[in-house]
Structure 1
Amino acid sequence: MPVNHDTTFVDNLPQNVAVQFLDRVAVSPDAEAFRFPRGESWESVTWKQAGEHVSRLAAGLLSLGLEPEQRVGIASGTRYEWILADLAIMCAGGATTTVYPSTNADDVAFILSDSSCRFVFVEDDEQLAKLTEQEAELGEVEKIITFGSAPAGEADAKVITMDALAELGDAYLAEHPDVIRTTADAIPADQLATLIYTSGTTGRPKGVRTLHRAWVYEGSAIKAQQILDETDLQFLWLPMAHSFGKVLLSTQLACGFATAIDGRVEKIVDNLGVVKPTFMGAAPRIFEKAHARIVTMTASEGGAKEKIFKKAFAVGLAVDERTLAGQKVPLGLKLQHRVFDKLVFSKVRDRFGGRVRFFISGSAALNPDIARWFHAAGVKILEGYGMTENAAGATVNHPDHYKLGTVGPAMPGSEVKIGEGDEVLLRGPHIMAGYHNNPDETAKALDADGWLHTGDKGSLDAEGFLTITGRIKDLFKTSGGKYIAPSAIEAKFKAICPYASQFMVFGNDRNFVVALITLDPDAMADWAKENGKEGQDYRQVVSSREVHDLVAGYVEELNAKLNRWETVKKWEILGSDLTIESGELTPSMKVKRSVVQANNQDLIDSFYTG
């Protein structure tokens, strides 16, 4: 049944993020707010404890002279201290400028300089070194605040610890006991809250100016849909430097649930088993890897286990197909499903802690086949859509009303429509105020009627559910005049091949389509152990005849699902996976197609000349 959405909440939004946070502290003082790893165990804090810590840090920033809308950088991975720093900046009336910990020193200098940051929080000595290395470019940075201890060696008056900042705040609060609430109440809804620099695929990153009203709208829109409440428990690993991570914080403040935080990607599976969350936001790559891991592990066991596994998913998908279509499930099929749920599907759910009500997938397209596979196992993945320019959330499927393969309807209180060339257009309280110091790019993105031009190609069905078919600029035409949507082909391959990491197709103005493939290093390490190649490095393994034949089978399977003009005629496995460090992935794990093409142009050309 369709879910009714009350949009009156838009007229009653909290004034700003600071008020939203302080009100949450007042409403839920003794409830758990955050938990985070300390050594081998987890530590927990209440909303009241978090509120006190944030107030001390905010007062410390005010004591240093922070003024409304002045920027404060955070160069760190996802951790509890990131949340504290961000909320302190909000409560002090400043504007957070986010910096991925993987960002190189030159780009860090550009971001902090372009945003005119006065203060910067840094996670560790590695992030501090980037600032000191570029000190000449950072003339406006007055103080650097470290999460841990001050660096050893010669004292630097510019560098203080987070504890020292809190002590400055204590002294300031003693003289101005009401300063945090007073400051928060004075922040208008249209004041700058955040500058998030989009990594982009070419050129310098652009600073997206996000206002307080955008963040409070996002959290309030989720609350209005009754998707989450204070009984939920989130596991948060997503980069807080990315808008997806930030919108989950806004949602937490609106709904009041607790969040367990640990940004170490390699610890996600272990942490899920310990934390046992009820929901988690993630990028599609996490689900691709989990799917691949489960499939390859079962295949390696072989025998009866593999047969039961395959039969279970055949039954699960058949039941799902009927259920989602509103059809009756035959009794025999229903009984089989019950048995397989105990034998197979419950074990899949247990990998995620056993309590997950749903996942929210965003930041890139999720392959519908993988979504259906997990759904058959009782793992619901709700796909949403948005971009940094609209504070991450534009559309989202609802747990009680969703369509696999779509990204859901528009969030209540906002609009989505299809424009010229099937471009997705967005409008509402969540839209950015523009790009920082970049009026030309702002004019390209925002039209006179307030619509954000996303650059994504899509369609809307009769119920308003949005389907994204790819980036307009990524579409290409073969010399035969046929249009190709690379992302659709690439997603199909990842669903078919459990060893795939990246699959990139090319063929603009050429007479056929070719592909560059990278395989997942972890999956290939496991494959090597099982196939007599343990001890060989990644390049040796993927260049072997056995792996070539293995991948060839998956490419053949892919081609059977494609139109003739889409089929991949030639391909090659690259000698290394794409990485952020190589410049071929953005910090949010999106492929920089133009960089990959430039780095492998000779190889691509050889497909057509060899």
Structure 2
Amino acid sequence: MNFNKQNTILDSFYHWEKNTPDAIFLKQPFGDTFKDFTWKEAVGQARKIAAYLKSLGLPRKSNIALVSKNCAEWIISDMAILMADHVSVPLYPTLTAEQINQVLVHSESKVAIFGKIDDWEEMKPGIPKDLKCISFPTYNPDPEHIQWNAILANTEGIKEDFKPKLEDLMTIIYTSGTTGNPKGVMMDFNAHTQVMLGAREYSKMDNRNTRFFSYLPLCHIAERNLVESTAIISGGTIYFAENLDTFAQNLVNAHPTHFLAVPRIWTKFQQGILGKLSQSKLDILLKIPIVSSLIKAKVVKGLGLQDAYLTLTGAAPMPISTILWFRKLGIIIQEAYGMTENMGAMSCMPRENIKDGYVGKIYPYQEVKIDENSGEILGKSPWNMIGYYREPELTKKTLDDDGWLHTGDVGELDSNGYLKITGRVKEMYKTSKGEYIAPSKIEVLFGVDPVIDQICLIGQSLPQPIALVVLSEAGLKLSEKEIKANFIKLLEEINPVLKTYERVKKIVIVKEQWTVENNKLTPTFKIKRNFIEKEFAPRSEGWYEAPETIIYE
């Protein structure tokens, strides 16, 4: 399809229904088998769900919430909401009752579609009593809800191809809430069209026979753009992950052409490989010409990435050492940078001209400048948000009168348009010595150590920072003596390259892993720094004054 600036994602959706009706669009795993959805079947179901939504008599552009883990019905629902001339409001399926209530009330959603949720009984008390609810089939549907299959059986699908105006509101995307309540980012159809065209060179959306593996939350802008939108525009096939236990096999079955993973996932892949083959042995084998090729092919195929020609990372800082480690195996990871407020698209690393230490080259049609006073990265593009839903004051703080989006990130821009992130405006803190610390810049340096799974620097009231560390699976196998020796050596390597006031004074090994469930990680696996700092701050001075350099919580 010749996707152009006058098209919306619905044009592509209708195009494949008419031109390749029997091609497989969605593949939903159930154990060792798949339930396949052709383009004709998927669009046909969307037409019926859209007809049902229209039958409710809601005002046009009503907000419809979508709450589910990734699955075929998620994509179908998202398109159905747009086809019914409503606004899609996707929400994280891991929210607590209190959190889901806050966003459903704030978004003024008129209907909510629920699906694959791990703990529905935990979430259910937060659902407003007057909210009309629909349940997907298969995934423990709530009997009190309107049932998906009943709609399909009793509804005639809309026959016309509804075409929204480019300036119409398309979606409200709630941020993951790393620093407080989530904010509803409003995007129109034009922003979506423009970002897909601006990212065309990088996304490879014009390629045929594209395959995607969907497992990161589809309510997050990165997955929604790279997987849902690129698949629909390219006419590709989306494979889903069934659950955590089947993830590895699901990925192998998909062997995607496009693959996105946040740094934590890449680290898990690396740890899994090193759990089967030590680093020293791997280094030796990679130096032997014929054996090296065989090892690389086996590792890449074992991950399911043998056909991937677009391999991305984003959402959090990625250690250069990890990128270089995978590159030795023939996996070229391209960093991408953006935020929900600019459709996740400010820069992307070109595969053919990589500059390590940077988060890519600025996209076409994207303007970037660095604030002279704060060093903050500012961006202006056709896909900047309209604003935050029902939050005019917050909108003014983020999107200025001249149309510049204030990212909150501190960075540098070189003469060739490559962007480097050096910290966060709000995350930077002043030590008791009056010096500013950018924690993420230091944390990345510790990412080289396979013993570390997670790290967070704290120390607003201290002369120098303390590193809170969660051990990896490899680290948990080591003795306390080995751990302490490892970390002493690590500090001796890292501290000399830091400024005096940045040097890490102590490493504290914490007992509990940080997860989405205990509110220490966002659903996209970024650490919730504020929550972690708040919990551990009362003990930080005691640790700082302790005689040991390496401390167990």
Shift, 1:561, TM fit: 4.5
Structure 1 residues 453 and 61: CA distance shift in structure 2, 3 A: same
1:460-471 superposed matches below 5 A: 460-471=413-424
1:129-278 superposed matches below 5 A: 129=121, 132-135=124-127, 137-139=128-130, 141-148=131-138, 156=144, 159-170=145-156, 173=157, 177-178=159-160, 181=161, 184-185=162-163, 187-225=164-202, 227-228=204-205, 229-248=207-226, 249-262=228-241, 264-278=243-257
- Paired with 2:6 and 2:120, the residues of 1 have a C-alpha distance of 35
Q: Choose the corresponding residue for 1:53, options 45, 48, 56.
A: 45
Counterpart residue identity of residue 239, structure 1: P
Residues 1:363 and 2:315 are matched in the alignment: yes
Aligned to 1:475: 428
Aligned to 2:551: none
Q: Deviations over 1:543-588 (max 9, x none)?
A: x444444444444443354344332221210011112222222222
Q: Choose the corresponding residue for 1:65, options 57, 60, 70.
A: 57
Counterpart residue identity of residue 349, structure 1: V
1:448-467 superposed matches below 5 A: 448-467=401-420
Aligned to 1:436: 389
Aligned to 1:333: none
Unaligned stretches of 5+ in structure 2? 547-553
1:482-521 superposed matches below 5 A: 482-495=435-448, 497-508=449-460, 510-520=462-472
Residues 1:291 and 2:270 are matched in the alignment: yes
Q: Which has the larger radius of gyration?
A: 1
* More helix per residue: 1
Structure 1 residues 580 and 146: CA distance shift in structure 2, 3 A: same
Unaligned stretches of 5+ in structure 1? 1-8, 300-305, 316-335, 532-540
Aligned to 1:583: 519
Q: Deviations over 1:19-46 (max 9, x none)?
A: 3322343344343322120232123332
- Paired with 2:543 and 2:493, the residues of 1 have a C-alpha distance of 21
Q: Choose the corresponding residue for 1:26, options 18, 22, 30.
A: 18
For the Cα contact (< 8 Å) 1:236–1:263, is it kept in 2?
no
Aligned to 1:598: 534
- Paired with 2:124 and 2:438, the residues of 1 have a C-alpha distance of 44
For the Cα contact (< 8 Å) 2:362–2:417, is it kept in 1?
yes
Shift, 1:226, TM fit: 6.7
For the Cα contact (< 8 Å) 2:50–2:80, is it kept in 1?
yes
Structure 1 residues 262 and 61: CA distance shift in structure 2, 3 A: same
Percent identity reads 30
Shift, 1:361, TM fit: 0.9
Structure 1 residues 134 and 499: CA distance shift in structure 2, 3 A: same
Aligned to 1:559: 495
Aligned to 1:332: none
Shift, 1:403, TM fit: 2.3
1:88-103 superposed matches below 5 A: 88-103=80-95
For the Cα contact (< 8 Å) 2:114–2:133, is it kept in 1?
no
- Paired with 1:177 and 1:274, the residues of 2 have a C-alpha distance of 35
For the Cα contact (< 8 Å) 1:233–1:260, is it kept in 2?
yes
- Paired with 2:284 and 2:252, the residues of 1 have a C-alpha distance of 26
Q: Secondary structure at the match of 1:469?
A: strand
Q: Deviations over 1:230-282 (max 9, x none)?
A: 22212121101211111121122222222212263443322222222222111
Counterpart residue identity of residue 391, structure 1: M
Residues 1:309 and 2:291 are matched in the alignment: no
Q: Secondary structure at the match of 1:412?
A: coil
Shift, 1:595, TM fit: 1.1
Moved more, 470-479 or 80-89: 470-479
- Paired with 1:22 and 1:115, the residues of 2 have a C-alpha distance of 29
For the Cα contact (< 8 Å) 1:103–1:587, is it kept in 2?
no
Q: Deviations over 1:363-393 (max 9, x none)?
A: 1121111111111211011111111111222
Aligned to 2:361: 409
Q: Secondary structure at the match of 1:51?
A: helix
- Paired with 2:359 and 2:155, the residues of 1 have a C-alpha distance of 44
Counterpart residue identity of residue 211, structure 2: L
For the Cα contact (< 8 Å) 2:171–2:186, is it kept in 1?
yes
- Paired with 1:369 and 1:126, the residues of 2 have a C-alpha distance of 35
TM-score (norm 1): 0.82
Shift, 1:146, TM fit: 3.4
Structure 1 residues 31 and 310: CA distance shift in structure 2, 3 A: same
Q: Deviations over 1:310-342 (max 9, x none)?
A: 2456x6xxxxxxxxxxxxxxxxxxxx5x33532
Residues 1:79 and 2:65 are matched in the alignment: no
For the Cα contact (< 8 Å) 2:68–2:117, is it kept in 1?
no
**RMSD (Å) for aligned C-alpha atoms:** 2.6
Shift, 1:65, TM fit: 2.4
For the Cα contact (< 8 Å) 1:119–1:145, is it kept in 2?
no
Aligned to 2:550: none
Moved more, 390-399 or 377-386: 390-399
Structure 1 residues 582 and 120: CA distance shift in structure 2, 3 A: same
